[in-house]
Structure 1
Amino acid sequence: MTTETIYGNLQGLKPSQLKQLQKLYHQHIRNDRLTTTELAERIAAISTELKQPVCVYLNRRGQVIRVGVGTPRQTQIPPLELPRYGVQRLSGIRCLATSLKPVPPSEACLTAMARQRLDALLMFTLTGNGVIRKGGGASGFIENTYLAHLLPIQENEAFWEVSQPQDIEDIAEQDFLDLVDSLEAEFSREFVAQEVSSDDDRVLLVGLMTGNMTEQKFRDSLQELALLVDSAGGKVLGTIEQKRSSPHPQTLVGAGKVEEIALQVQTLGANLVAFDRDLSPAQVRNLELQFGVRVVDRTEVILDIFAQRAQSGAGKLQVELAQLEYMLPRLTGRGLAMSRLGGGIGTRGPGETKLETERRAIQKRITRLQQEVNQLQSHRSRLRHQRQQQEIPSVAIVGYTNAGKSTLINALTNAEVYTADQLFATLDPTTRRLTITDKNSGESRTILLTDTVGFIHELPPSLVDSFRATLEEVTEADAMLHVVDLSHPAWESQIQSVKAILGDMPLAPTIELIVFNKIDRADSEHLEIAKNNYPQAVFISASERLGFDTLRSRLVSF
């Protein structure tokens, strides 16, 4: 904030009037007072002369830090210039504002207070003529004063509280520090009651439903985004939805919804906003300027999960390549204020320190990583060729993320692959031998089972490209086990998503066995539908080892 800069609507102001406004920067009051009668009357006198509202912002030391002509909404401090103390504290700034109408603060003014997380908003309604006020008292321009402040967020309650009209003398005698301390104590208690770790990202989800989406697809997408955020280590605080015929080119959602999201960011104490669809670099920049916190899209959340899950050198290599290819067009305009090197969803991974270096250096890094991925492809191709020479059939386990692929290979082969009830719990392919005895002939047969990375709706292209060495484990297999989580309400659309991704792969195996997993948790109606629509499928529970005899007998026939 520039010293003595006047913000807002300055059109038509005389030099002498600008000087009066600039002199307000020289004002200083006691830090335990909201205002003084003298300062309030001076602001009111200037506002009366200008015939426009005036706003003066003070810090907790009682110093004026910003002067503007206009309403609190028109003169508010940009989010990136505000201190970020989190949901437990206020911003340390209060606003003294004038109103030419004898009414309490409007919702727009109160929303501006909440967006800035102000300590308090004092609204002076003006007499308009500077004569003795009704009922006696000191002469001046102020008719009444309203005091507004934020409230801890509780269900079905307002975000703020506005006092009844008071005399400026009474307001000037109130203990400001006592008010702020009591409010922040309440905010702190509310934060502790939420049981959110201070190390977790506090995430607000945003979903956009356009004309070409069904209600069910929209709900499934939002639910999946919540699971992705949870898998990435974030805590979902709330969800905001909007229906539009088409996305807004600058901000994806409409201007009114942007305002609503910004308000929720402040009132809920979110430090991250996650959108359910991909954002352009310009949209991310525009939204971050409005919200004052990081903004990520669905792809970036997925990339962050991959960055956390990658264990092998090959996995880390491919994650870094995917991150750099995604971030390269998004480097312009980030600046120091929105640096991505601070930690949290969208910032982790082997390549995170490369994201804000010179574009040319990043391009060189991408080129080298692509060469290394090509070498990785060649290495894995040689390993596959050696296995093929042994004439051992290979079966790739494919399926939607969290369908239970790793649990299945563990149960069949004791592979000890990491499993968790999370999306993308494992990334690196694992190949294990499985020996099966044919009950009819008594002969034993060995096959190779390969656990692959899970698929997801609209798998980001950068991941498909970067993980091509891993996905070739699928294209080079003799057959596929397509594992489906029958307990998931969207299991049918998940099947179609997997088939769509496989359809884009060259030389994908034509032999496919659909394995419906988690039948112990599946709805009976869904179980019946699956049996009718997929009569050749196998129905199992990998965790409970149900249906394994049938599965093994079908594997023998591969």
Structure 2
Amino acid sequence: MYQQRLPRDRLLTAEFAQRLGAVGATLKPQSVSAFVNRRGQVIRVAIGNPMEAQIPLLELPRQGAERLSGIRCISTQYSTREPGQKTLLAMALQRLDALVTLHVTGEGSVGKQGRGAAGFVSTVHLSHLVPAAGDRWSVSPPLQLGAAIEENFLDLVEGLESEFSRLYSARQVDGKRDRAVLVGLLTAGHTQDQLEERLSELELLVDSAGGDVLEALWQRRDTLHPKTAIGPGKVQELALLVQDVGANMVVFDRELSPSQVRTLEDRVGVRALDRTEVILDIFAQRARSRAGKLQVELAQLEYLMPRLAGRGRTMSRLGGGIGTRGPGETKLEMERRGIQRRIALLQKQVNELQAHRRRLRQRRQQRDIPTIAIVGYTNAGKSTLLNALTASDAYAADRLFATLDPTTRRLQLDADTPLLLTDTVGFMTELPPQLVDAFRATLEEVTEADALLHVVDLSHPSWLEQIEAVDKLLDDMTVATGPRQLVFNKIDRVPAEQQTLVAEKYPRSLQVSATERLNFDTLLEVLGRFAQRATLKAV
């Protein structure tokens, strides 16, 4: 079959159809599927229907919502019924140019050039994808073999791709940004509102990383599927959605195992990322100082180490045989060994950075200047509050993880009361452990502060859950025993009724607006009391 060659402008020939039909008749009731490219070359022949014999999505030569794969499938079927749902789904998943189903009779013969006293193929069904909304594919009524042979293949695919391209251009987003589909899982113990909040936060993360979210889907599961996190049916739905919207990645709302990432990429055909990888990417983009870059690289390498296997053909093993065995190392092992050396070097440099910052803190403590750390959920307005209090110009933006490196500024409350305010990296629910470890030098600014200002974005719909997330992270750290002050920020964006309810629920809290400088007098009084307490304690 691999030696057969089809004309460029024809779906198939009588000779090819009867030869494939003869194989199908021999193997009944098993199907046989042949995949042919647009040059007319047979690139794959396998026993099984198009779903069982399908080409892995990552191996398809053409991909994208605006075009087809450039491959057609010709498959045998030992009945005259039209192709089943699974067969048509395989056509859609692979974005085949066309699917030709040959209905094989019980007996026949093939002579020279494929002609015999009785052919093996009785009728043919021709199926192809449909660009318009509604039905995903079109299936012809039973055709005689001669009618299928006369079908102009090039006119068919060119017309389909022209329409697909037109529809794709109509919804096209910025071509320089990644296009993502979000995937959420509603597991036991969580509510629909919590899932929606996770997906909303994940969308903000993707946007901060430089991507556009095109669609989102979710599934309710008691436990995660060990191979794909979501179920097999949902994986197929995800693959079709990725094709429909033209996404080039899928992003999950939880951490995936290395094997889950590899399986998902094979079955969906695009990159599969988890929440941790998106956060690491944001940190890599935002790191400006040498210290920040060191810690980000360390976190990324620690995340990458268990995920090396399957990361592209460059990680595959060397072939066995003469001249390839050498010392016995594989490319994968060499890559892992190199990363381990780099991790050890970065760890040493981070330790040196940690010691350097400890010396700086000791100098500040020797001058008896109290230090207060500003902590809180990412994008709560910590940097804006620091700038407003100290009249400084530290970088602040309405985006997640705008601040990575600790920023310390001096605040002179009065002639005799200086104070140091330190802005820290924003916290987040389920912050990747690699980041917590890598940023321990940064977080030590929190652990050794005389007091903490816990800043909360009161305008955020999940401000209560954010308070709980930050409190949990702080409780898990070896934090100094100094007091914590809850400060609700952005009160200019919420109604007075909500402010009243919050004041009743948290009577010792403060409510301010960093941008409008509201209630700063009360905040400065609290800071003054913290400074006096820290000074007396030092004495």
TM-score (norm 2): 0.88
Distance 2:437 2:89 in 1: 45
Report what 2:302 is aligned to: 325
Distance 2:95 2:519 in 1: 57
Distance 2:79 2:477 in 1: 67
Mapping 1:132-147, distance limit 5 Å: 140-147=119-126
- Identify which of 120, 124, 127 aligns with 2:98: 120
What is the letter of the counterpart of residue 483 of structure 2? I
Report what 1:71 is aligned to: 49
Distance 1:70 1:469 in 2: 58
Aligned residues: 508
Question: Could you report, residue by residue, the CA deviation over 1:265-289 in whole angstroms, capped at 9, with x for unpaired residues?
Answer: 3333322222211122222222223
**Cα pair distance change 1:421/1:160, threshold 3 Å:** farther
Q: Which moved more, 1:517-526 or 1:47-56?
A: 517-526
Mapping 1:103-118, distance limit 5 Å: 103-118=81-96
**Cα pair distance change 1:539/1:81, threshold 3 Å:** same
- Identify which of 245, 248, 251 aligns with 1:268: 245
SS, match of residue 313 in structure 2:
coil
Report what 1:542 is aligned to: 514
- How far residue 494 of structure 1 moved from its aligned partner, in angstroms, is 0.6
- How far residue 398 of structure 1 moved from its aligned partner, in angstroms, is 0.6
SS, match of residue 138 in structure 2:
strand
1:201 equivalent in alignment to 2:178: yes
**Cα pair distance change 1:98/1:468, threshold 3 Å:** same
Q: Which moved more, 1:379-388 or 1:144-153?
A: 144-153
Report what 1:217 is aligned to: 194
Identity of aligned residues (%): 58
**Cα pair distance change 1:174/1:525, threshold 3 Å:** farther
Report what 2:442 is aligned to: 470
1:148 equivalent in alignment to 2:127: yes
What is the letter of the counterpart of residue 373 of structure 2? A
Q: Which moved more, 1:165-174 or 1:241-250?
A: 165-174
Mapping 1:510-549, distance limit 5 Å: 510-522=482-494, 526-549=498-521
Q: Which moved more, 1:233-242 or 1:548-557?
A: 548-557
Q: Which moved more, 1:358-367 or 1:408-417?
A: 408-417
- How far residue 163 of structure 1 moved from its aligned partner, in angstroms, is 3.0
Mapping 1:484-499, distance limit 5 Å: 484-499=456-471
- How far residue 497 of structure 1 moved from its aligned partner, in angstroms, is 0.6
1:503 equivalent in alignment to 2:482: no
Report what 1:362 is aligned to: 339
- How far residue 356 of structure 1 moved from its aligned partner, in angstroms, is 8.7
Mapping 1:294-313, distance limit 5 Å: 294-313=271-290
SS, match of residue 278 in structure 1:
coil
What is the letter of the counterpart of residue 435 of structure 2? L
Distance 1:334 1:236 in 2: 24
Report what 1:551 is aligned to: 523
- How far residue 59 of structure 1 moved from its aligned partner, in angstroms, is 0.3
SS, match of residue 2 in structure 2:
helix
- 8 Å contact from structure 1 (residues 272, 295) kept in 2: yes
Gap runs ≥5 in structure 2: 110-116, 317-330, 531-539
Distance 2:150 2:51 in 1: 27
Report what 1:191 is aligned to: 168
- 8 Å contact from structure 1 (residues 328, 355) kept in 2: no
Distance 1:195 1:362 in 2: 39
1:61 equivalent in alignment to 2:33: no
- How far residue 419 of structure 1 moved from its aligned partner, in angstroms, is 2.6
Question: Could you report, residue by residue, the CA deviation over 1:338-386 in whole angstroms, capped at 9, with x for unpaired residues?
Answer: 89xxxxxxxxxxxxxx999522222222122111111111111111122
**Cα pair distance change 1:289/1:108, threshold 3 Å:** same
1:479 equivalent in alignment to 2:451: yes
- 8 Å contact from structure 2 (residues 373, 452) kept in 1: yes
- 8 Å contact from structure 2 (residues 449, 482) kept in 1: no
SS, match of residue 358 in structure 1:
helix
- 8 Å contact from structure 1 (residues 488, 522) kept in 2: no
Question: Could you report, residue by residue, the CA deviation over 1:390-443 in whole angstroms, capped at 9, with x for unpaired residues?
Answer: 222221111001111122222223332223322112211111122335xxxxx6
Distance 2:231 2:429 in 1: 25
- 8 Å contact from structure 1 (residues 502, 508) kept in 2: no
Q: Which moved more, 1:427-436 or 1:183-192?
A: 183-192
Gap runs ≥5 in structure 1: 1-23, 132-137, 340-353, 438-442
SS, match of residue 202 in structure 1:
strand
- 8 Å contact from structure 2 (residues 309, 315) kept in 1: no
- 8 Å contact from structure 2 (residues 295, 350) kept in 1: yes
Distance 1:471 1:334 in 2: 32
- How far residue 482 of structure 1 moved from its aligned partner, in angstroms, is 0.9
- How far residue 54 of structure 1 moved from its aligned partner, in angstroms, is 1.9
Report what 1:87 is aligned to: 65
- 8 Å contact from structure 1 (residues 541, 547) kept in 2: yes
Distance 1:337 1:522 in 2: 53
